[in-house]
């Protein structure tokens, strides 16, 4: 494989690994927040207006920013009725074909995310809840997560092409 592709794969993999490991900590923040909200409501009869919504934003950030890292670890759910029986080269070929479909899907999601984020920034869009936080920050995070997933898909695509050719990119 060309040196530029190998550098790209290594850079994207390293970046998504760092982001994924950092984002893993958000689950603990979310658990702490939900515990605090539960205690506040139950023991002190003082419910948090913002607690559930912030935890939803944290969870969305968790799975969208962690998706690329999950793909890198090959941790996504896969229907492997036939997949495990195939040779490494056949699996790589099937992965390349399905990756092409994923590029189209993620490209459409990215275009929608950019459009939606632009709208939220331009018009100051807020949530329809009592707390009514601005939606631009979570939409920026969502769009960034989709972009990271798209970059990781391209990295995985290059690794699969290398596997088909009998090479390994690490």
Q: What is the pLDDT of residues 80-93, one digit of tens each?
A: 788 888 999 999 99
Please determine, for residue 77, whether its predicted confidence score (pLDDT) is greater than 80: no
Q: Rounded mean pLDDT of 98-125?
A: 97
Q: What predicted TM-score, i.e. pTM, was given to this entire model?
A: 0.91
Q: Rounded mean pLDDT of 153-164?
A: 96
Using alpha carbons, select from 149, 20, 148, 153 the residue that is nearest to residue 95. Answer: 153
Q: Rounded mean pLDDT of 134-138?
A: 97
Quote the tokens at residue 78: 């896969």
Give CA–CA dist 139/114, Å, rounded.
8
Instruction: Write down the pLDDT at residue 8.
Output: 97
C-alpha triplet 6, 20, 10: angle, nearest 5° = 10
Q: Rounded mean pLDDT of 24-48?
A: 93
Instruction: Write down the pLDDT at residue 81.
Output: 83
Using alpha carbons, select from 93, 27, 100 the residue that is nearest to residue 63. Answer: 27
- Give the model's confidence band at 154: pLDDT under 50 very low, under 70 low, under 90 confident, else very high: very high
Share of the chain above pLDDT 90, in %: 86
Please determine, for residue 78, whether its predicted confidence score (pLDDT) is greater than 80: no
Instruction: Write down the pLDDT at residue 18.
Output: 97
Using alpha carbons, select from 90, 98, 109, 89 the residue that is nearest to residue 157. Answer: 98
């Amino acid at each position: 494989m060309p040196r530029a592709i190998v550098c790209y794969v290594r850079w994207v993999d390293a970046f998504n690994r760092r982001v994924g490991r950092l984002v893993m900590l958000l689950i603990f923040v979310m658990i702490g927040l939900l515990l605090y909200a539960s205690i506040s409501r139950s023991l002190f009869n003082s419910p948090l207006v913002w607690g559930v919504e912030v935890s939803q934003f944290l969870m969305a950030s968790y799975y969208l920013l962690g998706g690329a890292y999950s793909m890198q670890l090959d941790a996504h759910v896969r229907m492997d009725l036939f997949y495990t029986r195939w040779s490494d080269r056949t699996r790589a070929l099937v992965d390349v074909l399905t990756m092409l479909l994923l590029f189209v899907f993620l490209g459409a999601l990215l275009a929608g995310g950019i459009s939606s984020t632009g709208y939220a920034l331009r018009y100051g869009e807020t949530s329809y809840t009592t707390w009514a936080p601005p939606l631009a920050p979570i939409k920026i995070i969502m769009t960034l997560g989709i972009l990271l997933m798209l970059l990781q898909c391209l990295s995985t695509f290059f690794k699969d092409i290398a596997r088909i050719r009998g090479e390994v990119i690490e």
